Structure 1
Amino acid sequence: MSPEFLITSLIIVATPGTGVLFTLVAGLSRGARASLVAALGCTLGIVPHAVAALTGLAAVLHTSAVAFETLKFLGVGYLLYMAWRTFRETGSLSVEHSTAAPSARRVIASGVLVNLLNPKLTIFFFAFLPQFVGPDEPNALLRMLQLSAVFMLLTLLIFAFYGAFAASVRQHVTSRPRVMTWLRRSFGGAFAALGVRLAFATR
């Protein structure tokens, strides 16, 4: 495994984005288990992008303005919906208990959508993975599958770390309503900002 691939992947995964934000919200509002489920959902959301890159569908997104813009604005809409849902909570960020918490399937589905509706991730795989596969490598497809699996594993581990950290400070944060209100507004604003940023993304 190339050290350059590992270092680059770590930097990309660890840089806060929608997946990290989603996992932090899950950890703060619902605890360690929910944050791990959220991290798993975000990781699974990478699978379609990896498959698209490996099958050449990323080239369609790269060359077709309509396909790219359609997927992009679906992602923008979802991020703005998450921002609205966060802002809609009255008072502090809601802290859900096990009896009222959403199912693991619902959390995973939300995590998948967070990464699925981001066309830049598909193009990222399309441009990123081939750089670490030799042009004459006999098993290039297998090699790219291995690299994709490593990238997903790093995503799961790092996101789980973010979520575990959020869950570990949950009790200290949730006991302070003003802090929770500030966090709710910050998370809502961050989701909105990421949506706006994606709206202005180009191929």
Structure 2
Amino acid sequence: MSIEFLITTLVVVVSPGTGALYTIAAGLARGGKASVWAAFGCTLGIVPHMLAAITGLAAILHTSALAFEIIKYLGVAYLLYMAWVTLRQTGSLSVEADVADKSVGKVIVEAVLINILNPKLSIFFFAFLPQFVPAQAPNALVQMLELSAVFMLVSFVVFAAYGLFAAAMRSQVISRPSVMVWLRRSFAGAFVLLSARLALMER
């Protein structure tokens, strides 16, 4: 594994996206434990894209306009739904002083769906992994799996760090109703902007 791969991975993961946004929101809304579970869910959501790229299924997404558009607009619809429930302060991202463990499952499911419904992740892995695996490597599949595992580990660590930092600020948030309203609107607006960006994406 090259240092170039690690640097590229870090740059990609650190860049704000739907996964990072959801993990931060979970940390502020539900606390440190929920933020770690959100990071775990976002990481799990990478697995289907990684497997699709390795098995060549990403090529179908890349060449099939219909398949790409279906997944893309499912992702757009889901992000708009997340914006709606966040604005209404319902669901797993509602900010409460008393955090219930029963919301953990919902946090994970939402986090997984956020990444699964992003067709660009499959295309990204399809274009990203081969750059760091020699064309004639006898164990190319093993190398791609190893690189994917590193990418997922870095994603989990970075997202969890985002979420835990947000959770550390949680007490300041729940003690200020006006800040809670501002944050709720900001996260809802961010989900809308991310849905618009996804809608405008081309293969």
- TM class, shorter-length: over 0.9
In structure 2, what is the equivalent of residue 49 of structure 1?
49
SS of 1:136 mapped into structure 2 = coil
1:143-177, Cα deviation, whole Å (9 max, x unpaired): 00000000000000000000010000110122111
Unaligned runs of 5+ in 2: none
Q: CA deviation at 1:180?
A: 1.1
Q: How does 1:78-97 map to 2 (within 5 A)?
A: 78-89=78-89, 94-96=94-96, 97=98
SS of 2:38 mapped into structure 1 = helix
Does residue 154 of structure 2 align to residue 146 of structure 1? Answer: no
Q: How does 1:52-131 map to 2 (within 5 A)?
A: 52-89=52-89, 94-96=94-96, 97-99=98-100, 102-131=102-131
SS of 1:103 mapped into structure 2 = helix
Q: How does 1:5-24 map to 2 (within 5 A)?
A: 5-24=5-24
Letter of the 2:56 partner, please give it: G
Counterpart CA distance in 2 for 1:185 and 1:109 is 23
Counterpart CA distance in 2 for 1:102 and 1:193 is 30
RMSD: 1.2
Q: CA deviation at 1:89?
A: 2.6
> With structure 2 as the length reference, what TM-score do the two structures score?
0.96
Number of residue pairs matched? 200
Does residue 191 of structure 2 align to residue 196 of structure 1? Answer: no
In the TM superposition, structure 1's runs of 4+ consecutive aligned residues that sit over 3 Å from their partners are none
Q: CA deviation at 1:107?
A: 1.2
1:82-131, Cα deviation, whole Å (9 max, x unpaired): 001111239xx8323234x5432221111100100000000000000000
Counterpart CA distance in 1 for 2:75 and 2:94 is 24
In structure 2, what is the equivalent of residue 180 of structure 1?
180
SS of 2:84 mapped into structure 1 = helix
Counterpart CA distance in 2 for 1:71 and 1:161 is 29
In structure 2, what is the equivalent of residue 30 of structure 1?
30
> With structure 1 as the length reference, what TM-score do the two structures score?
0.96
Identity of aligned residues (%): 64
Letter of the 2:50 partner, please give it: A
SS of 1:95 mapped into structure 2 = coil
SS of 2:61 mapped into structure 1 = helix
Structure 2 contact 39–159 (Cα < 8 Å) conserved: yes
Letter of the 1:170 partner, please give it: R
Unaligned runs of 5+ in 1: none
Counterpart CA distance in 2 for 1:134 and 1:175 is 54
Counterpart CA distance in 2 for 1:107 and 1:20 is 13
Counterpart CA distance in 2 for 1:149 and 1:165 is 24
Letter of the 1:63 partner, please give it: T
